[in-house]
Each structure stands twice: as C-alpha cells, then as structure tokens.
C-alpha cells in the first residue's frame, strides 16, 4: 500500500476544495482512511462529513465506492464534486440512469478517471454490478448515513445490513462509516454489523450552539406557521410532515398566502422532485414542505429555520432534521408542534410490524415524547440522549431556558422512584414503574402481583406526567440508566445506589402540558385583530357605511351592490389597508376589491394611523377550501350554458344549494351570465319588474323585504335568480 503519512493534506485541501484549513477532526479522520484503517465517524450535520471520504478518494489509487441511501443525495454530491474537479471524477450509478449513461459511467470507472462511485445499497446486490466491481481497483468503501444499518437507528433499512456480505464478494477494502446521529447502542450495532469493532472512532460534539429549539402545542398550527414565516420573510426554511397528503396541503396553503413554497415527497415524479429541490437550492423559493427524506446531504448552509408539523419518530430523526438549519454557523430556528395525537398515530402505524420492531419503535417514540414534554434545557436533554454531558445549567437558546418553569426540591420523589426500581429487581420499563407509583392496575401489574407491593400507589396523589418528569431527572442525574438491549428496562447505577444511601437536595422542574387541538383541516378561520377582538369597530363601521352611501349615490346604484353589511363589518375587524388584504374580507373578491376598494382601504388606513390601532400582524390566513372547486365547476358550466338541473346532478346538490353557491360567487365580485336560465323559467315582464325593484326601491339586498314588496305572485327562487343577475350586471 502506498504511504500517505508524509503528504501535505492542506495542499490537497486547497487544490481541490479551496479551503485553507480543516474543521474539527477532519484531518485525523482522513489520515486514518489513507492509512487503510477502518474508521467510524460520528459528526453532526454541517460538520463536514463528506470531505472525510471525498478528499482521500481524490488522493488514493483506485475508485472509492460510496454507499448512499438516496438518489437525490447522490446527485447533489456528485454535482458538488464536479464543480470542484473535472467531469467524470465522480459518478453515481442507480435506477435513474438509462443504459447509455450506465455504459459511460462504467467506461470512466474502468479507465481510472472516476475516483468516487456513488451507489445505493440495492444496486450493490445486482449480479451485474457485483461482477463489474470485481474488475476494478477499489480504494476503500464509504458508507454514508450509516445509522440506516441499525435496527435502533431512526431510518433503519434492511438492505443496509447486507452491505458487508456484498463487500466480501466485490473485493476487500477499508471501511469508513459516517453518520450524524447515533446513540452508543446504534454505534455499536453499526460497527458489529460491518465487522469493524476495531475501527478508529472519531466523535465530534453533538452541541450545535447556534440552533434555537422550541416546542409549541399543536393548536392553530397553520396560522402559527404562516405568522412565523412572515416574521422571517425572505429566509430559507424547511417544513417536515409525515404524510405526502399533508405536504401538498400545507404547500398549497402557503402559496395561497403569498409565501414562495414548494412540496417535496417520494410520490412526485423524479423530474418535478429534482426541479423543486434545485429551485430551493437556487433560492427561487424560500420554503420546501417535505417528508423526512428531503435534506439528507443537501448542502445548503443558510437554511434559517426547520419546522416540524408532526413530531418525528425518534430523537435521532429530530436531531438530524433540525441539524439542516444554520449549517454556516448562523441563525437556525428549530420549531416543533407537539400533540399527543401524533404519538398515537405513529403507534398505530407500527401495528402489523414484527413485535421486536414495534418495541423498538415505541421506545424511540417515548424518548421523543419525553423530550417534547420536558421542562429541562432542550440542549442538555439532546446531548444526554447521545451520550454527551452538557455541563451548563442553562443554554439560553431554547424555550425551556428562556421561559423556565418553577422548580421544586425533589429528593423525596427521586428516592421513591429509585426504591421502586430496586424493589422490582430492575426488570421493568418507565411506564410500569409509573403504574406502580400511581396505583394503576392493569394485566401486567396483576400478573407480577405488583399491586400487592407496599410501595404500590404510594405516589397516587401525583399524576403520571409528574412521575415521568421525576424519572427523567433521575436519568439526567445518572441515578438511573436504561438497558437498551432489553428495550429500555430501568436499572440503578452506582451513583444512584450511593444517592439512596446519602441523599442530597435536587431541584426538579415539572413537565410542560400541551393543549390538544384539532388541526388536520386546512380550512383556516380568519385571524381577527384590532381592539375589538373579533367584535365590530362601531365607529369605523359608521364611517364605512357613510362612504358606501356616498359612492352609491355617485354611481346611481343601491349601496348593497357595492359592499354588503357583513363585508363592512369584517373590514372593521380585519382593518385591511391594501387591496390584497381587502380581498380576504368576507364577500369581497378580486373584482369588487379592484372596482370599489381603493376609497375604503384609504379610509381604513387613515383611521388605523390616527387611532394608532395595532393590527394583527399575522393578517388573514387564506385557506385552500375544497368548495372552490365546486365554484369553478359552476362558473365553467354556466359559461357553457349547461342546464341547472344537470349542474345539480353532477355535483349532487339541490336547487337551493346551487342558488346559494351562485349568490356567493357574485357577492364576492365575479361576473356570471345566467340569462339563458332566467329566460327559460321566467317571463320577460316578471324579470324586468324584479330587476327594477332592486334598482330603484330596495334599500338592502334582503330577500324577505323583496318578497314583501313584490307580493305573493313572485316566488323566492325567482327573486333570488334576478337578484343574482342584478348584482352581477351592476355590481361586477
């Protein structure tokens, strides 16, 4: 093997990447790879993992085989490498390539031109690829996102566990395994599976000091997200959701509200998915709404916020996804919306999987839920989970530290927890321990006869949430630990036994409680603002009515043609000061806003300035409502002069519902022509008489007043039809 011990790595770093110096452990990791030793790298997102195998690949003889889980990730990294070096030095080989492209890749590899070949683990199993790799000189194997190997990892993929056996067929070589997220258990599992327990291990600190962590209750979530993004206008961000449907819905709502956003999920065709990713990287859009696959290896250093609409399945997933914020060391806000209903949904998704997989999944979910509900410093909890101690009491950069809850002296409760764990011989998990303390009887308690223990129910005056927080504190203080090999059984540490013998005061903070909200609908109630908190501003309403009357006289039209009373009332709640904002008010569409709106928004703006009214900064959230599809269908059908009965039959609605939709359409400013229907059901004289009533006599658009004035020879339906025509012809 070639000796690389004496080469100047800084020269190569400058030559290929343009950097003057290495970050953290990069240089010693690269020397480990170049010396042909197995290497395990645990480095948080943004720490520069990719360079740890890219630079030695460029220096070494042969081709490095880089095993990577995602096509998008491979493409992004290969594109990045080609920008540093010449074409052909890096290639990927996966299902996205056609035959001609695969031939070209193989030619470049065989010629020795290609220094890095990215492959998916699935591609390694194909016979033709195994045969091809046997023909080439392999410098080493790099396994990116190595946590996929472990059943305890947050993104376990069974095909990753076959990598070692495939490598023994394609040719031996040193291995570098890299991940941003691995607990001690996951790390051991990775090394054992790859047969590299002798590896040089390099761990960087998990602490990302620039990231701010906050968790909010999942109530009015869409409104909260839009308000947050508007407050951070122009900044790049990622919103993570669990389902493809939710990704599409949220992206649509953001776009409707003037936010440059695009969706990204595996259900989209690859061309659209790649285009959306590229537009985000090129800053054509500010926000990507995505399932968790998005972002793996995406080298965008200036993502300023990561929002989790749904709670992730594990703390590893949460840490990796939030780690995509602030990779340049700048601002990175991490916001998660938490609801226990999301936990229940995720547990439901696990049903049908093997029991061992369900147990692991539940343990990971419990950790995430505990993290969300805890009042302890978020940073301290995260680092503790990854086996790292955070020595500061207060990080000053998470919601728990900036808004601390009152602490209390908890030694009495800690001792009770430790005593219960000791009494049951350290053979049970957190939930069972809590059930003993609170006196909760279930089949497991009865089968072990723990309801007969002297300690059973000793803490029933406190809720389970309280005891969960005490156990979490015991874990943080290292009085207790969890046996991961046995699905999280609690056991006493030496420090815990010492504490039982010689207790001392320990301050404990009770867990947070999160309000539950129904937040699956994208139909958003408008946000009201101003001094009325949803009630009309009577002074402004009088001014708006006066303005309407004045304009009506000038145009020789009834006042209700311009804006109806509910529209004016909504204006006094919303305080719109632009035509765009006015369009969000009830019964005001684009047509009406453009035709009549300017004098009204000018009046409201003057009023707001004079009274120094603080409007709701989050403005009105426009929703993507399914009914809009019905309205579009009705408008298109009327343009084609489709019979009203056929329209009703197509949308399974009655005549009254159709009239209601037509009234809604014209009241918001859209012009339609229903003369073809009116001429079928109403003679000309009756039509003209109703029309003239609304033009000359009516003071309001009231149907009751019209029926009373016109008399019993006119039906409500006839009056409504002509009123629709009248508002459309004169008002729109």
Nearest to 322 by CA among 301, 299, 311, 306: 306
Burial 507-518 (b: 16+ CB within 10 A, else e): ebbbbbebeeee
Q: Give the HSE-up count for residue 418: Cα atoms under 13 Å, Cβ half-sphere.
A: 26
191 CA to centre of own chain: 32
31-35, 270-274, 527-531, 617-621: lowest mean pLDDT where?
Answer: 527-531
Residue 293 pLDDT: 59
Q: Is the separation of the CB atoms in 651 and 630 below 8 Å?
A: yes
**527 pLDDT tier (thresholds 50, 70, 90):** very low
Q: 26: exposed, middle or buried (C-beta count within 10 Å: 0-12, 13-18, 19+)?
A: buried
The architecture CATH gives domain 627-731: Orthogonal Bundle (1.10)
- The CATH number of the structural domain formed by 9-203 is 3.40.50.300
**299 pLDDT tier (thresholds 50, 70, 90):** low
What are the tens digits of pLDDT across the range 40-92?
999 877 678 889 999 999 998 899 999 987 655 666 677 666 655 666 788 88
Average pLDDT, the chain: 84
Q: Where are the alpha helices (DSSP H) in 410-529?
A: 411-423, 430-438, 443-447, 464-476, 494-501
CATH 1.10.10.1390 location in the chain: 627-731
What are the tens digits of pLDDT across the range 464-499?
888 988 998 888 788 998 776 666 789 999 999 999
What are the tens digits of pLDDT across the range 685-714?
888 888 888 888 887 778 888 888 888 788
Tell me which of 569 and 86 has the higher pLDDT. Answer: 569
2-16, 114-128, 654-668: lowest mean pLDDT where?
Answer: 2-16
- The CATH number of the structural domain formed by 211-351 is 3.40.50.300
Q: Which of the four CATH numbers 3.30.450.30, 3.40.50.800, 3.40.640.10, 1.10.10.10 does domain 411-505 have?
A: 1.10.10.10
Residue 322 pLDDT: 93
CA separation for the pair 301, 303 (Å, rounded): 6
Backbone angles phi, psi at 235, to 5 degrees: -90, 150
Q: What are the start-end ranges of the E strands in 163-302?
A: 175-179, 200-203, 211-217, 236-240, 261-264, 287-290
CATH 3.40.50.300 location in the chain: 9-203, 211-351
Q: Tokens in use for 619?
A: 């403005």
**Residue whose entry in the numeric block shows the structure tokens 């998915």:** 273
**Residue whose entry in the numeric block shows the structure tokens 């009533």:** 693
Residue 522 pLDDT: 46
CA separation for the pair 16, 122 (Å, rounded): 30
Q: Is the separation of the CB atoms in 121 and 162 below 8 Å?
A: yes
Is pTM beyond 0.85 here? no
What are the tens digits of pLDDT across the range 454-465?
999 999 999 988
DSSP classification of residue 297: T
CA separation for the pair 524, 533 (Å, rounded): 17
**530 pLDDT tier (thresholds 50, 70, 90):** very low
CATH 1.10.10.10 location in the chain: 411-505
The architecture CATH gives domain 538-611: Orthogonal Bundle (1.10)
Does pLDDT of 432 surpass 90?
yes
Tell me which of 482 and 368 has the higher pLDDT. Answer: 368
CA separation for the pair 374, 389 (Å, rounded): 17
Cα–Cα–Cα angle for 206, 208, 214, nearest 5°? 110
CA separation for the pair 588, 584 (Å, rounded): 7
Does pLDDT of 517 surpass 60?
no
């Amino acid at each position: 093997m070639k000796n690389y011990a004496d080469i100047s790595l800084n020269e190569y770093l400058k030559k290929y990447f343009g950097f003057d110096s290495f970050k953290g452990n990069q240089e010693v990791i690269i020397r480990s790879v170049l010396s042909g030793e197995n290497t395990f790298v645990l480095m948080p997102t943004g720490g520069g993992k990719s360079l740890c195998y890219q630079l030695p690949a460029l220096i070494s003889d042969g081709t490095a085989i880089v095993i990577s889980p995602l096509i998008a990730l491979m493409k992004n990294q290969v594109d990045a490498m080609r920008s540093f070096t010449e074409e052909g030095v890096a290639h990927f080989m996966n299902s996205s390539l056609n035959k001609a492209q695969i031939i070209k890749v193989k030619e470049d590899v065989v010629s020795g031109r290609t220094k890095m070949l990215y492959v998916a683990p699935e591609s390694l199993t194909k016979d033709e690829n195994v045969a091809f790799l046997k023909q080439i000189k392999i410098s080493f194997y790099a396994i990116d996102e190595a946590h996929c190997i472990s059943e305890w990892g947050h993104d376990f993929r069974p095909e990753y566990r076959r990598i070692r056996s495939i490598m023994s067929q394609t040719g031996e070589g040193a291995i570098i395994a890299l991940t941003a997220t691995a607990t001690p258990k996951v790390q051991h599992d990775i090394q054992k599976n790859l047969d590299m327990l002798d590896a040089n291990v390099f761990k960087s600190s998990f602490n990302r000091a620039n990231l701010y962590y906050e968790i909010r209750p999942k109530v009015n979530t869409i409104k909260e997200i839009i308000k947050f993004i508007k407050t951070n206008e122009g900044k790049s961000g990622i919103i993570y959701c669990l389902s493809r449907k939710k990704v599409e819905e949220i992206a649509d709502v953001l776009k409707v509200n003037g936010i440059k956003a695009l969706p990204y999920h595996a259900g989209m065709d690859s061309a659209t998915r790649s285009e959306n990713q590229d537009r985000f990287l090129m800053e054509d859009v500010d926000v990507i709404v995505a399932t968790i696959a998005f972002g793996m290896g995406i080298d965008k250093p200036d993502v300023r916020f990561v929002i989790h609409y749904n709670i992730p399945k594990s703390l590893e997933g949460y840490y990796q996804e939030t780690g995509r914020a602030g990779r340049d060391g700048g601002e990175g806000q991490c916001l998660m919306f938490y609801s226990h209903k999301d936990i229940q949904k995720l547990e439901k998704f696990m049903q049908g999987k093997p029991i061992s997989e369900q147990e692991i999944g539940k343990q990971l979910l419990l950790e995430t839920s505990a993290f969300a509900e805890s009042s302890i410093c978020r940073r301290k909890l995260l680092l503790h989970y990854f086996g790292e101690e955070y020595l500061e009491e207060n990080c000053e950069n998470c919601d728990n530290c900036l808004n601390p809850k009152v602490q209390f002296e908890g030694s009495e409760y800690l001792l009770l927890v430790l005593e219960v764990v000791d009494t049951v011989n350290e053979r049970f998990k957190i939930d069972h321990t809590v059930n003993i303390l609170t006196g909760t009887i279930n089949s497991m308690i009865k089968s072990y006869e723990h309801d007969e223990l002297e300690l059973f129910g000793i803490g029933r005056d406190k809720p389970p949430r309280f005891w969960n927080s005490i156990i979490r504190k015991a874990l943080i203080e290292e009085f207790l630990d969890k046996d991961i090999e046995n699905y999280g059984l609690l056991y006493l540490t030496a420090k815990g036994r010492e504490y039982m013998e010689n207790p001392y005061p320990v301050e404990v903070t009770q867990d947070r409680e999160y309000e539950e909200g129904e937040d699956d609908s994208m139909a958003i109630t408008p946000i009201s603002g101003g001094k009325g908190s949803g009630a009309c501003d009577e002074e402004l309403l009088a001014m708006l009515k006066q303005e309407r009357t004045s304009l009506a006289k000038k145009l020789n039209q009834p006042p209700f043609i311009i804006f109806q009373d509910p529209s004016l009332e909504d204006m006094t709640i919303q305080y719109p000061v632009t035509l765009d904002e006015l369009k969000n008010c009830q019964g005001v569409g684009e047509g009406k806003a453009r035709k009549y709106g300017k004098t009204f928004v000018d009046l409201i703006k003057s009023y707001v300035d004079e009274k120094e009214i603080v409007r709701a900064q989050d403005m009105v959230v426009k929703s993507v409502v399914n009914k809009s599809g019905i309205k579009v269908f009705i408008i298109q059908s009327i343009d084609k002069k489709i019979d009203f009965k056929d329209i009703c039959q197509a949308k399974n609605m009655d005549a009254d519902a159709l009239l209601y939709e037509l009234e809604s359409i014209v009241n918001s400013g859209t012009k339609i022509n229903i003369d073809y229907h009116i001429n079928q059901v109403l003679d000309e004289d009756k039509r003209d008489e109703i029309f003239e009533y609304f033009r000359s006599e009516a003071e309001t658009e009231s149907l009751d007043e019209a029926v009373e004035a016109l008399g019993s020879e006119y039906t409500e339906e006839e009056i409504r039809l002509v009123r629709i025509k009248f508002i459309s012809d004169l008002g729109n």
